[in-house]
Structure 1
């Protein structure tokens, strides 16, 4: 009679081996996927702004196919399929959305604009991962890089959803869209507000990102300037040297008090 596996005994050797192979594969593909992610980001922005075609379109399709194959390979190696899928929902949607561009009938429907919005969000998510790997650990540099990415990508999306030729008061060029997006992310705002459903959703996502990240960037810059002020010789702000000297004085005072009490 076969005994039921003990749930406390941990994953079987085969599962551990598959996780190890998956980890090695991700490490091996990290740099190539990193480069492809930045190229993909550039192609998406170019397509949103200038509606690229020809060689750029085929290059984008090729990179998308590589992304799909890489995801399917990781999925095949993952021992727990549902756990793997549950951890990559945005990636799945971002990989599925570009497939609809090959269905010509959908190009005549409003659904195409919604899929473009999904593509923008998915591209941002993949680019965030690439930025995080590039900077090694999260910090001010990572936040500034991702904010620049969000502004450039968001501006391309706003220009595609709210062009001046289709929307009253819309954007007449990419530079204008970049300025508007930067004002929105920095919580400054402007007089124009999008009128299309996709533009409003994208503007909401940009505003949420701005509220979440702008305070961190402002606090980091304030900390930097305070540190510079503290490092000055004639500064009224106590620096690390002054604090260290104060700690030494307190330690010496404690030692003297201890010696006086022991007499």
Structure 2
């Protein structure tokens, strides 16, 4: 019985892996389209056609999530790892079931916009990570652009018409300054706006540290390539290893002769 259960789990894992590989490309593409539609919705609102496209993508995401949830051997662990994804799939229901007045009221709350922005950004981060794979620096640059443009749309939707956020261009400038840790003279006035600004600032500090370390590593590596550099480069280390190996061989040969 125990062996049959283990065999069933292995089969589920294989099927889940196969489905994940099959749907990986389409889901990544739809994730980027979903993010673009979110930005358009926050800034200008969606037309009927774009709204239908958004709902269709949302339904496809739900199907993908349900199938993977059913196949996942440890369902609780799967939900824990994808709780933000689950939230991002629940919130668009407020757009679909507009016939209920209380849902329309909930949909107007800024807090839901903040949750929607964060959860959608989480999905986009996963899509970017799957696309870029080992290109770490390229991933960070693209992710910074995604966070800047999406964060600006969120700040504009939440804070307008407050000074500094009365247009998307101004919100984009403010967000870019936050991401680069330069700061701005304007500050958000709503609790949701402050929460989003705090997340953007945290991201900016993290990225600033990563970029600084990457640039330092690059320049140290360039400096180490020069012969007169104070820092030992890879070629110097390789040459030193050769000399140590030669010295060790010579000592061993002398020992053999003396023996």
TM class by shorter-chain length?
0.7 to 0.9
**Cα distance between partner residues in 1 of 2:219 and 2:104:** 51
Distance, in Å, in 1 between the alignment partners of 2:153 and 2:46 is: 13
Q: Which sections of structure 2, spanning at least 5 residues, go unmatched?
A: none
CA distance in 2, matches of 1:120, 1:20: 33
Shift of 1:137: 2.8
Q: Do the aligned partners of 1:132 and 1:142 also contact (CA within 8 Å) in 2?
A: yes
Structure 1 match to 2:165: 171
**Cross-structure match for 2:145:** 148
Written as runs of structure 1 = structure 2, the 5 A alignment for 1:101-116 is 101-104=95-98, 105=101, 106-108=103-105, 112-116=109-113
Q: Is 1:225 matched with 2:219?
A: yes
Q: Is 1:210 paired with 2:204?
A: yes
The answer to whether residue 21 in structure 2 is matched with residue 24 in structure 1 is no
- Alignment-derived partner of residue 69 in structure 2: 75
Say if 1:34 and 1:130, in contact at 8 Å, map to a contact too. Answer: yes
- Match in the other structure for 2:56: 62
Deviations 1:200-249 (A, max 9, x none): 11011111222223211210122122223333466554322223223323
* In structure 1, distance between residues paired with 2:76 and 2:106: 33
CA distance in 1, matches of 2:172, 2:226: 38
Aligned-pair distance for 1:250? 3.6
Match of 1:87 in 2: 81
Q: Is the 8 A contact 1:37 1:127 kept in 2?
A: yes
User: Does the 8 Å contact 2:61/2:89 carry over to 1?
Assistant: yes
* Counterpart-to-counterpart distance in 2, 1:179 and 1:107: 31
Normalized against structure 2, the TM-score is what? 0.87
**Conserved 8 A contact 1:159-1:173:** yes
- Aligned partner of 1:15 in structure 2 is 9
Shift of 1:148: 1.6
Task: Quote how far apart the aligned CAs of 1:183 are.
Answer: 1.7
Q: How many angstroms apart in 2 are the aligned matches of 1:170 and 1:108?
A: 27
| Bigger mean CA deviation after superposition, 181-190 or 232-241 | 232-241
Taking the TM superposition and a 5 Å limit, the aligned residue runs for 1:114-125 are 114-125=111-122
Q: Which moved more, 1:194-203 or 1:108-117?
A: 108-117
Q: CA deviation at 1:84?
A: 2.3
Alignment-derived partner of residue 193 in structure 1: 187
**2:179 and 2:205 in contact (8 A); partners too:** yes
Choose 143-152 or 194-203, whichever is displaced more.
Answer: 143-152
Paired position in structure 1 for 2:124: 127
**How far off is 1:160 after superposition?**
0.9
RMSD: 2.4
1:251 aligns with 2:248: no
Instruction: Count how many residue pairs are aligned between Structure 1 and Structure 2.
Output: 254
Answer whether contact 2:94 2:107 (CA < 8 A) is retained.
Answer: no
Mapped partners of 1:78, 1:243: distance in 2: 48
- Could you say if the C-alpha distance between residues 230 and 74 of structure 1 is closer, same or farther in structure 2, counting changes exceeding 3 Å? same
SS at match of 2:143: helix
Q: Distance in 2 between matches of 1:215 and 1:19?
A: 38
